[in-house]
Structure formats: structure tokens, C-alpha cells
Amino acid sequence: MALIEWREEFSIGIPSVDYEHKGMIRMINQLHEEMSATPSRDTVSDFLGEIHALISAHFALEEKEMREMGYDAFDDHKDDHERLLDEIRDIMDEFEENDPGEFAEELSRRLEDWFTGHFRTRDARLHRFLKDRDAG
């Protein structure tokens, strides 16, 4: 079963952002799946690199959109992005020191917490802001 299922409530209403959110969820699910089958260190390491690149690019897009619309909670949202990127870097450092198999479950759990937490709070608030703006 997929670790994270896409839910309509995750939708922001900016097509390019929603598209990337779906791509990130797919990637995390794929990582989770590969991890269940005792992956090699290289497999996991490549994945971590790809996830980091995908997420950095996504945050840059979201921040650009927020800046352009004059979003009122920009600083808080950006801070949370920075926090998430730091955490991924920590995960990557820890991985270097750990057995890939033992590391698997912990990694999946942290990525899931991290994503769904950010979607439910910051990205959801951005969604409400856009809805109110378009309604008003």
C-alpha cells in the first residue's frame, strides 16, 4: 500500500504546484516501496538525492508564486520550507552512518510526517488564502 495517498484536500489550486505535490508523493511512495525490499545503499542514496532536488525546486516555485501574489504568511511558510530542507539534510547525514535496512522504516515515517504536516498547515492555509481572494 502507498505510504501517502493523494487527497483532494492537499490541492492548493495552483496547477503547477499541485502537479509537483503529486510528483513528490509518488516519489516518496516509491522510496517506501524500495525500502521494504532491503535496498542497496546506492539505491537509497540516489533516492535521497533526487528527493532533495525535487523538493528544493518545488519550494522555489511555491515561494515564487507566494511572493508574486503578496501572500500575507510568506515568512512563516518559507521558514517551514527551510526547516524541512534542514531535516532532509539531517536524514541524509544520518543515512551515511546507518545500515540501509534499519534506516528504512525511520526514513519513511519521517518523510510522511513531514509532508502531511506541511500540507495540512502551511499549504492548506495558502489554499484558503487563494480561495478567499478569488471569492472576494
Amino acid at 110: R
CB of 118 to Fe ion, least distance (A): 6
Rounded to 5°, the CA angle 92-120-21 comes to 60
Residues 105-124 that bind Fe ion (CB under 5 A): 122-123
Residue among 32 and 122 whose Cβ is closer to Fe ion = 122
Cell numbers 522555489: residue: 60
CB of 58 to Fe ion, least distance (A): 6
Residues 24-83 that bind Fe ion (CB under 5 A): 62
Residue among 2 and 57 whose Cβ is closer to Fe ion = 57
Count, residues in the chain? 136
Q: Is 71 helix (H, G, I), strand (E, B) or coil?
A: coil
Residue among 4 and 44 whose Cβ is closer to Fe ion = 4
Q: Which residue ranges make up the site for Fe ion (CB under 5 A)?
A: 62, 122-123
